[in-house]
Amino acid sequence: MATLTFEVVTQERTVVLTDVEYVLLPGIEGSFGVLARHQPLMASLDLGVLEFGPRHGKRRKIALSGGFAEMHDNKLTVMAHTAELAEEIDVLRARQAQKRAEERLAERQADLDIARAQIALQKALLRLKVADED
Amino acid sequence: MAQSSRDIKRRISSISKTQQITKAMEMIAASKLRSAQETVVSTRPYYERLTSSLGTALRAVEQAGEELPEVARNRGGDTHCLLVLAGDRGLAGGYNAAIIRQAEAFLKEHPQTEMVMVGRKVRDHFRRRNVTSLAEFVGIGDVANLRIAQDIGHVIFDFFQHRLFDNVTILYTEYINTVTHRVKLRGVLPLPEQIKETESEGPEALYVYEPSIHAVLETLVPLYVNAAVYQALTEAKASELGARMNAMRNATDNAGELIRELTISYNRARQAQITKEIAEIVGGADALQS
């Protein structure tokens, strides 16, 4: 099967750089797949799970906190604020973050930044989900 | 005035203690600088790739004759936001002073400016002068922290979207090499014209935008703001460490110079003392003989 060069970068580091058959991206209007020699593409990505690997079979997963993807010259680059491979996720920390966010949401104080707490909760749940499925 | 040899000895030992400290500080700064330098270099590609994607998308909008989305438009107002990046601590030569001077000049030129301050030295300076700030970040350490950069980016972008100001400028110290740093003002928003000019070899590829070019730009602009903040922060931190290293090296050198001069006068004073004593003994012996 033809492959494409796939790369995930954050400001701090390159998370992955590899040749793969298939990448499933969490687009903001739903997930979509990218195969080799896809036409040039730019896409907005949502908080969600990114998968890459063989077309059929076991794929590796990345927890992505939203970002941007560009496909050009058979190379797919994903740029994100944060991106973690399933095996890198600290489950304990994610659980604590989840608890913290839930507590804050339950308190419902007037000065609470609800949107922020909700995002924190979503991120924690996403991490747990990705780590769990791995 | 000839000092007594004991006074001179005391000064020499005090200076050499100071020298030990400045030497240690120089070495600490040097070792931190090495990793800071690597961070500067490793974040540049991300920033460049992001701006080149942004440029491609902006050109596509232009060619299609469409209107830019809100975030990418130049509103043309004259309200500013100045993000000042400087250090928490002194002992870095003119590092903080140069930034503060430039910030003062900017405020004079653009009276309608809101400031976001990073670093205790800047904060204290402007607090003493009753200049208020929109947000302050102090005590962030010697390492450029991505989380803090993203927090700063979010704060600024949020306010920008709520039209608190129409322009965003970062004031930081550009890192060129260990001894050369330059205070720099970099316009971030509205998107500078140069972005559109990045990379144009060959015919432009025809991109698909998912879900739409406006949505893509709305994702790219905040990413770009954060990347610009982080990039500037890494450079500012590297410059600060470089400046501190140089300042401490100069201090160490000066101390060495002083010690050398004092040692000479100490030896001279000691010699004078000995000569005087011999003269006294000889004089005493003469007196006894006669």
pLDDT tens string for chain A (134 positions)? 788 888 888 888 888 888 888 888 888 888 888 888 888 888 888 888 888 888 887 888 888 888 888 888 888 889 888 888 877 777 778 888 888 888 877 776 666 577 777 777 888 888 877 777 65
Return the minimum-mean-pLDDT range out of B18-32, B66-80, B112-126, B196-210: B196-210
Task: Output the average pLDDT for chain B.
Answer: 84
Tell whether B146 is within 8 A of chain A (Cβ).
Answer: yes
pLDDT above 80 (res B141): no
Task: For domain B25-198+205-247, say whether CATH 3.40.250.10 is its number.
Answer: no
Residue B1 pLDDT grade (very low, low, confident, very high; cuts 50, 70, 90): very low
Tell whether B167 is within 8 A of chain A (Cβ).
Answer: no
pLDDT above 60 (res B14): yes
Is the pTM above the cut of 0.90? no
Q: From residue B201, how far is each of B171, B197, B198, B205 by CA, in Å?
A: 32, 11, 10, 10
Tell whether B46 is within 8 A of chain A (Cβ).
Answer: yes
Over range B22-27, report the average pLDDT. Answer: 90
Tell whether B40 is within 8 A of chain A (Cβ).
Answer: no
CB contact under 8 A, A9 and B49: yes
Residue B3 pLDDT grade (very low, low, confident, very high; cuts 50, 70, 90): low
Picking from A11, A66, A79, the nearest residue to B43 by CB comes out as A11
Domains of chain A: which residue ranges? 4-86, 90-133
Which pLDDT score is estimated for B50?
86
Residue B2 pLDDT grade (very low, low, confident, very high; cuts 50, 70, 90): low
The token duo for B70 is 């809100």
Strands B181-189 and B208-210: unpaired
- A124: helix, coil or strand? helix
Let me know: does B222 contact B17? Beta carbons within 8 Å: no
Which pLDDT score is estimated for B198?
59
Domains of chain B: which residue ranges? 5-22+250-285, 25-198+205-247
pLDDT above 80 (res B20): yes
Which pLDDT score is estimated for A34?
82
Residue B210 pLDDT grade (very low, low, confident, very high; cuts 50, 70, 90): confident
Q: In chain B, which residue's Cα lies nearest the Cα of A9?
A: B46
Q: What is the DSSP string of chain B?
A: -PPPHHHHHHHHHHHHHHHHHHHHHHHHHHHHHHHHHHHHHHHHHHHHHHHHHHHHHHHHHHHTTPPPPGGGS------EEEEEE--SS--BTBHHHHHHHHHHHHHHH-SSEEEEEESHHHHHHHHHTT---SEEE----SS--HHHHHHHHHHHHHHHHTTS-SEEEEEEEEE-SSS-EEEEEEEEESPPTHHHHS---SSPP--EEES-HHHHHHHHHHHHHHHHHHHHHHHHHHHHHHHHHHHHHHHHHHHHHHHHHHHHHHHHHHHHHHHHHHHHHHHHHHHHH-
Q: Which fold has domain A4-86?
A: ATP Synthase; domain 1 (2.60.15)
Over range B217-228, report the average pLDDT. Answer: 86
| % of chain B residues with pLDDT over 90 | 11
Picking from A41, A44, A79, the nearest residue to B46 by CB comes out as A79
Q: What is the CATH number of domain A90-133?
A: 1.20.5.440
Tell whether A5 is within 8 A of chain B (Cβ).
Answer: no
Tell whether A9 is within 8 A of chain B (Cβ).
Answer: yes
Chain A 41-100, residues with CB within 8 Å of chain B CB atoms:
41-45, 66-68, 70, 72, 77, 79, 81
- A26: helix, coil or strand? strand
Q: How far apart are CA B272 and CA B279, in angstroms?
A: 10
Which pLDDT score is estimated for B17?
92
CB contact under 8 A, B219 and A10: no
ipTM of the complex: 0.78
Is the dihedral angle over the CA atoms B56, B61, B65, B71 positive or is it negative? negative
Over range B40-66, report the average pLDDT. Answer: 82
